[in-house]
A and B are shown apart, each in its own frame.
Chain A
Amino acid sequence: MNQLLPLIKDFLETMQVVLKTAEELRVEAQRLPSTEADALPGKIQQLDDLCAEGLKTYKKAQDIAEEMRDLVG
């Protein structure tokens, strides 16, 4: 359990980042309909970046969870 605790902490922190990114994505997506046409490409790029960041963080969380699984056996 001692070895597991840092991983649990790391997982929780990573999932908090995932949640934060997901919320940012939702907020930015909500702003999309009121975005002016010329600002749309920039806004879409921003959403794309958030998506990429979310994917990276989610994969990191999954890696940590797999590490936990290996440890628990």
Chain B
Amino acid sequence: MSSHKKLLEVVEELLRQALILTEFAESSLDLAQNLRDTGIGELAGLIEQLIYDCDLGITKLQGLSSLIDETREIIGRDSGYCPATAAVSAPAVNSASPLSPDPDLAIYSGENTTSNSSDLLTSHYADFELHLSDVVDRVYQLQKSISKSGSKTITGMIMLVSMLGAATNHPVTKTLMDGYKRFTAAAGVYEIGQKSNNLGKVELKDVVDWYLKMSVAEEERRKRTQEKELDASARAHAEKGRTLGTSS
């Protein structure tokens, strides 16, 4: 049987078991809801049932864990499982790359050089994912911080926070700016990945592009504000000069 087919089978079983586990946990919870209303005489039996259910649930989860290990093993060892999206060209990366292949993480596509390339990209994208995950957390925190404002989109939030940040030294501003820095870093990692290879990650690139646009827009807005402030200051100086000239 091909590894690809085996992988599909394992994933199918994983899905099935995950569904069973959900239904099982739901049924245990329903059963546990009766605890308060159960008479003392029947309570012991119900608790025994719950302990037994917990045992079964734990066994199911252990089974799921084994299936996950199996999935990981297939991906790790498989030289045949290489969809077009994972195909990478070797020459861009030195085969003597100091990055050692991690059997648990790498997606191998047959040749060592390609594996190294793949490892490098995996590593870059892992960094990217880390940054992205961090930013998502920060945006979520941001959303929580200003949820009362009624702003429904991230764009709206950013505009709102930018205005707030410009006027005050609100802690949210720091979160936002940290978010920008993270995205800039993530964009850098993405570029490294792109230079190393032409592997396309359109959806991630879209996110980065969008955020970079937001950063540029924010920078332009900041410049415009600064220019307006300078104009106002120049006008005030001119006005002051005229006033002094008139009075003398």
Secondary structure of the B contact surface, majority rule: helix
A39 to B24, CA, bound (A): 29
Q: What number of A residues sit within 8 Å (CB to CB) of B? A: 42
User: Which chain B residues lie closer than 8 Å to A40 at the CB level?
Assistant: 75, 107
Secondary structure of the A contact surface, majority rule: helix
Closest to B59 in A: A58
User: Which chain A residues lie closer than 8 Å to B75 at the CB level?
Assistant: 37, 40-41, 44
Q: Are A62 and B81 in contact (CB under 8 A)?
A: no
Closest to A19 in B: B25
Which residues of A (1-48) have their CB < 8 Å from a CB of B?
A: 1, 4-5, 8, 11-12, 15-16, 18-19, 22-23, 25-26, 29-30, 32-33, 36-42, 44, 47-48
Contact bitstring A41-63, B, C-beta under 8 A = 1, else 0? 11010011001101100110110
Q: Are A55 and B43 in contact (CB under 8 A)?
A: no
30 residue pairs A–B, Cβ–Cβ below 8 Å = A1-B40, A8-B32, A11-B32, A12-B29, A19-B25, A19-B29, A22-B21, A22-B22, A29-B18, A30-B18, A33-B11, A37-B75, A37-B86, A38-B107, A38-B118, A38-B121, A39-B125, A41-B106, A44-B72, A47-B14, A51-B68, A54-B21, A54-B61, A55-B58, A58-B57, A59-B54, A59-B58, A61-B54, A62-B51, A62-B55
